[in-house]
């Protein structure tokens, strides 16, 4: 396991990420990805796009990050997107009240679920102290703090707007148009990768809890009565689950199972959620998460977001703690219904029946000249109640009289005055509000997990070596190319040519001719470059076909292969079509260890 301080130091020194605005004293909760980190992050995003947009046949959009207040009134974020805030009266520091409880009381894993009042009581009962200055927080008010960043749209006082706290809303509000692109056919999925903003009370642990971060989200729109996921594609995928029942039990354990079994035994209630857990498991494995330090944990009921019916988190183990790296929520029809209600637009799709159906509709046409004299001021309400009764209880109109209850009063109406009739109508379909299943990934937390899980130390040539065992697909650089020494024109020329031809083949290359070769290997090891090509004198000697060495990062083993084969072999290695082991069998390992040259 990586020492967190060493990892943060490496991230800064080697240009993965560092606190932003350092020249101005830094701004808590904002991080800049340096050259290596930006490249790693973009590669993670590309791998996500490949799986969740391209392979699953979904559409990707890019919506604005600022949205008007009405959107968040409808979504519920304005009212309910709060964290528990407690401020220290002594030094003014702000803290997440629920986190203070979790850190101080081992037996409480999810203090948010306890509610604001109980959290305040626990702070008092245990006389918790301010982590910044040590003063007692007992008796300090615990308050809801809305996490959205507010802004104003337009000059002057403008219209209130907010930085989106999740990319999802940019998809939901465009549903009336997006469904047209999908030709009104369910199921369909829309993805988006982009920034989200949350004014976190206490940002911490590097890029794990920040105020601006990148999400990769998929909104899967389904007909809940008809659409089923292609579960057979993932039914054999093995997963580690931590369901609510096990979290609640004293001796709770992980459930090692398959997606298929978890659905059959109803451990995962929604087949759609289960399907995406299976896809996600495979994707995390592909990008290099250590699957022995990975699990899916079901949300406890008090923990679920305001919109979610069921929710599972993908969690990775970092420095001995589990952190949420993605959430998988069954959002039901919550979002589309709310946006329909608040906007007045149509957030439904037309579901055509296989065959047109004839439906009987019961109607009334009350005779007001009879109701008026009989019921006076209540006549209009009686007429309305008759309409409602015809819809819900048409049999009532088979008697001579219908009795209605309005605000505790009984009204009896002669049936013939109601003019009750049953009309037949032929309908070809109905407007339904789709349900939403949402896999939502945090890109920064995935990046951090890859760095943490890939961070390795070993002994090489009597020295401690640090390397990042990143999957070639996401490593910031695919290949480093070195001339063994920098003062030999022939070596430089061949090395530059190789670098050029690799770049033309779409391989990302770092060319380096400075310092000892051992040092250059170490630099590349530390940023996770999977392969190094070295042009040396031995490979260019005599009339034989020129050769170079190819070194694999994790094993530090080297083979010698013809210059003419370098590009093709690296392409197959990077695509995972061949292994280094296979190449080593074909070309043989190089005995001389250039690492120490």
Cβ distance to ligand GAP smaller for residue 59 or 324: 324
Which residue, 110 or 324, has its beta carbon nearer to ligand GAP? 324
Cβ contacts of 222 within 8 Å, gap of 6 or more: 186, 187, 272, 434, 435, 436, 437
Nearer residue to ligand GAP within complex by CB, 51 or 440: 440
Least separation, in Å, of the C-beta of 11 and ligand GAP? 15
Specify the residue, 312 or 467, whose C-beta has the smaller distance to ligand GAP.
312
Q: How far is the CB of 324 from ligand GAP (least distance, A)?
A: 4
8 A C-beta contact, residue 420 and residue 387: no
Token look-up 């020249």 returns 23
Question: With helix as H, strand as E and coil as C, how does 370-384 read?
Answer: HHHHHHHHHHHHHHH
Closer residue to ligand GAP in complex, CB, 112/140:
112
* DSSP code per residue over 210-271: -SEEEEEEEEEEE-TTT----GGGTTT-EEEEE-HHHHHSTT---EEEEHHHHHHTTSSS-H
- The least CB distance from residue 471 to ligand GAP, in Å, is 19
103 vs 526 by CB, closer to ligand GAP: 103
In residues, how long is the chain?
597
Which tokens in the block code for residue 143? Answer: 């308050």
Cβ distance to ligand GAP smaller for residue 294 or 521: 294
CB of 219 to ligand GAP, least distance (A): 9
Min separation Cβ 474 and ligand GAP, Å: 17
Secondary element (H or E) of residue 584: helix 580-587
Minimum distance between the CB of residue 438 and ligand GAP, rounded to whole angstroms? 6
* 62, 194 contact by CB (below 8 A): yes
Dihedral over Cα of 490, 493, 496, 502: its sign = negative
Structure tokens at 173: 């509000």
Residue among 96 and 553 whose Cβ is closer to ligand GAP: 96
Q: How near is the Cβ of 265 to ligand GAP at its closest, in Å?
A: 26
462: left (phi over 0), alpha (psi -120 to 50) or beta: left
State the DSSP H helix or E strand holding residue 27, giving kind and residue range, or none if neither: none
Q: Max alpha carbon distance in the chain (Å)?
A: 118
Is 56 or 305 the residue whose CB approaches ligand GAP more closely? Answer: 305
Of 213 and 420, the one with the shorter C-beta distance to ligand GAP is: 213
Contact residues: ligand GAP, CB under 6 A: 166, 168, 198, 200, 209-210, 213, 215, 217, 324-327, 438, 440, 442, 444-445
Work out how close the CB of 252 gets to ligand GAP at its nearest, in angstroms, rounded to a whole number.
Answer: 22
Q: Name the minimum Å distance from CB 274 to ligand GAP.
A: 18
Q: Is the dihedral of CA 386, 392, 397, 403 positive or negative?
A: negative
In the complex, least distance from residue 547 CB atom to ligand GAP, rounded to whole angstroms: 46
Secondary element (H or E) of residue 183: none
Question: Which residue sits closest to ligand GAP, CB atoms considered?
Answer: 442
Cβ(544)–Cβ(502) under 8 Å?
no
CB-based contact 450:40 (threshold 8 Å): yes
- Pair type for strands 558-562 and 547-552: antiparallel
Identity of the residue, 198 or 520, whose beta carbon is nearer to ligand GAP in the bound complex: 198
Q: How far is the CB of 38 from ligand GAP (least distance, A)?
A: 16
Q: What is the 3-state secondary structure (H, E, C) of 60-107?
A: ECCCCCEEEHHHHHHHCHHHHCEEEEEECCCCCCEEEHHHHHHHHCCC
Distance in Å, CB of 520 to ligand GAP, minimum:
34
Helix (H) or strand (E) run with residue 517 in it:
helix 517-526
3-state secondary structure of 561: strand
Residue with smaller CB distance to ligand GAP, 13 or 306: 306
């Amino acid at each position: 396991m990586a020492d967190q301080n060493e990892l943060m130091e490496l991230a800064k020194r080697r240009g993965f990420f560092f606190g932003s605005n350092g020249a101005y004293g830094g701004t808590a909760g904002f991080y800049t990805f340096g050259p290596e980190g930006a490249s790693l992050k973009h590669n993670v995003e590309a791998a996500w796009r490949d799986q969740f947009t391209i392979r699953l046949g979904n559409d990707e959009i890019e919506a604005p990050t600022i949205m008007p207040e009405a959107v968040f009134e409808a979504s519920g974020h304005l009212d309910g997107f709060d964290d528990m805030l407690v401020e220290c009266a002594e030094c003014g520091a702000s803290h997440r009240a629920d986190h203070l409880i979790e850190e101080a009381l081992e037996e409480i894993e999810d203090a948010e679920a306890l509610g604001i009042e109980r959290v305040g009581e626990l702070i008092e009962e245990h006389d918790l102290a301010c982590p910044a200055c040590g003063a007692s927080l007992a008796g300090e008010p615990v308050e809801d703090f809305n996490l959205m960043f507010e802004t104003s749209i337009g000059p002057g006082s403008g219209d209130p707007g907010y930085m989106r706290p999740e990319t999802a809303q940019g998809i939901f509000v465009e549903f009336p148009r997006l469904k047209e692109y999908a030709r009104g056919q369910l199921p369909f999925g829309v993805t988006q990768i982009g920034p989200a903003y949350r004014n976190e009370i206490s940002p911490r642990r590097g890029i794990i809890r920040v105020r601006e971060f990148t999400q990769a989200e998929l909104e899967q729109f389904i007909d809940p009565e008809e659409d089923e996921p292609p579960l057979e594609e993932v039914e054999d995928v093995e997963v580690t689950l931590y369901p609510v029942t096990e979290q609640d039990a004293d001796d709770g354990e992980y459930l090692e199972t398959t997606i298929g079994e978890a659905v059959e035994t109803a451990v995962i209630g929604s087949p759609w959620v289960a399907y995406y857990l299976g896809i996600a498991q495979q994707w995390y494995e592909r990008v290099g998460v250590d699957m022995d330090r990975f699990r899916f944990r079901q949300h406890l009921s008090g923990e679920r977001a305001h919109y979610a019916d069921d929710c599972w988190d993908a969690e990775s183990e970092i420095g001995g703690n589990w952190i949420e790296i993605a959430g998988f929520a069954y959002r039901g029809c919550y979002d589309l219904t709310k946006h329909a209600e608040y906007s007045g637009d149509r957030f439904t799709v037309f579901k055509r029946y296989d065959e047109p159906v004839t439906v009987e509709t019961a109607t009334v046409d009350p005779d007001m000249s009879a109701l008026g004299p009989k019921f006076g001021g209540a006549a209009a309400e009686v007429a309305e109640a008759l309409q409602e009764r015809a819809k819900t209880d048409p049999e009532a109109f088979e008697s001579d009289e219908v009795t209605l209850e309005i605000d505790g009063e009984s009204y009896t109406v002669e049936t013939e005055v109601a003019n009750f009739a049953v009309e037949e109508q032929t309908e070809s379909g109905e407007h339904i509000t789709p349900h939403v299943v949402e896999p939502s990934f945090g890109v920064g937390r995935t990046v951090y997990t890859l760095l943490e899980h890939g961070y390795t130390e070993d002994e090489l040539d009597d020295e401690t070596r640090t390397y990042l065992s990143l999957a070639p697909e996401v490593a910031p650089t695919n290949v480093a190319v070195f001339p063994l020494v920098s003062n030999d024109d022939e070596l430089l020329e061949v090395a530059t040519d190789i670098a050029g031809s690799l770049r033309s083949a779409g391989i990302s290359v770092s060319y380096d001719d400075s310092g000892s070769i051992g040092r250059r290997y170490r630099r590349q090891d530390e940023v996770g470059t999977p392969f190094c090509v070295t042009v040396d004198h031995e490979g260019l000697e005599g009339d034989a076909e020129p050769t170079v060495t190819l070194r694999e990062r994790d094993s530090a083993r080297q083979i010698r292969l013809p210059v003419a084969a370098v590009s093709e072999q690296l392409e197959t290695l990077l695509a995972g079509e061949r292994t280094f082991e296979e190449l080593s069998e074909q070309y043989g390992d190089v005995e001389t260890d250039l690492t120490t040259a």
